[in-house]
């Protein structure tokens, strides 16, 4: 049954918050924990958005002998240690709170689909006092990770929205591919971790250059 609910689902890392420094720091710890040379930041940026185990596997060259589980634990422990010490820095991109409020006032239902764990996502949203904006939260430890469309299917199910009235907003080709697989609108953002040209090639409808551009794009 079709509904009139308009659902906008946001990626988190690289779209709502800039967690690049923390991701790279934790990835270095993960590699060093098993005495492997850490990958350069340019390679780490390429895998942001994937589920953690899958991201590490890619950075290990898909080596079946890589101790992925051990590295996942080291990464997670590093992240939690920084959070407990108050050293975790995931600043919001400028204009995000105002955008979310404007979309909500305009009648949009909001959600998040991210490669983060649910614990990590909830902590990030709570830190920035954003949790109340979202009615559905989808994470890679609760559903199949990007670019599989399952998170978007779950989000639409929870929100009571259909694909025709839903949109995915993200900064990586994984977000765009997931949106296309779920038959929802795919909007890219230029301030994250993959280049706008890559997002368009992956099938984005358009790429917002500034956070403020998203409101006018979504009203079009």
Burial 105-135 (b: 16+ CB within 10 A, else e): eeebbbbbbbbbbeebbebbbeebebeebbb
Phi then psi for 113, rounded to 5 degrees?
-130, 115
Tell whether omega for the bond before 87 is within 30 degrees of 0, i.e. cis.
no
Instruction: Using alpha carbons, select from 195, 204, 213, 206 the residue that is nearest to residue 94.
Output: 213
Catalytic (active site) residue 13: yes
Given the residues 13, 18, 29, 171, the one annotated as active site = 13
Rounded Cα gap, residues 73 and 69, in angstroms: 6
Backbone conformation region of residue 8, classed left if phi is above 0, alpha if psi is from -120 to 50, else beta: beta
* DSSP structural state of residue 63: -
141 included as an active-site residue = no
Backbone angles phi, psi at 88, to 5 degrees: -75, 125
185/60 Cα distance (integer angstroms): 33
For residue 143, give the nearest of 111, 113, 183 by alpha carbon: 113
Residues with catalytic function: 11, 13
């Amino acid at each position: 049954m079709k509904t009139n609910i308009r659902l906008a689902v946001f990626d988190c890392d690289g779209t709502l918050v800039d967690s690049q420094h923390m991701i790279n720091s934790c990835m270095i710890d993960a590699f060093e924990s098993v005495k492997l040379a850490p990958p350069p930041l340019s390679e780490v940026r390429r895998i942001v958005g994937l589920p953690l185990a899958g991201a590490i596997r890619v950075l290990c060259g898909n080596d079946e002998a890589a101790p992925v589980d051990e590295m996942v634990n080291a990464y997670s422990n590093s992240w939690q240690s920084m959070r407990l010490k108050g050293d975790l820095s995931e600043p919001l991109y400028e204009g995000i709170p105002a955008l979310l409020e404007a979309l909500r006032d305009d009648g949009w239902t909001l959600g998040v689909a991210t490669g983060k764990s649910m614990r990590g996502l909830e902590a990030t949203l709570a830190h920035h006092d954003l949790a109340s904006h979202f009615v559905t939260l989808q994470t890679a430890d609760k559903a199949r990770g990007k670019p599989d469309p399952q998170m978007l299917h779950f989000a639409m199910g929870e929100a009571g929205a259909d694909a025709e009235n839903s949109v995915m907003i993200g900064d990586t080709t994984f977000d765009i591919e997931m949106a296309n697989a779920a038959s929802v609108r795919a909007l890219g953002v230029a301030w994250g971790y993959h280049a706008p040209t890559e997002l368009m090639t992956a099938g984005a409808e358009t790429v917002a250059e500034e956070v403020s551009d998203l409101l006018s794009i979504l009203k079009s």
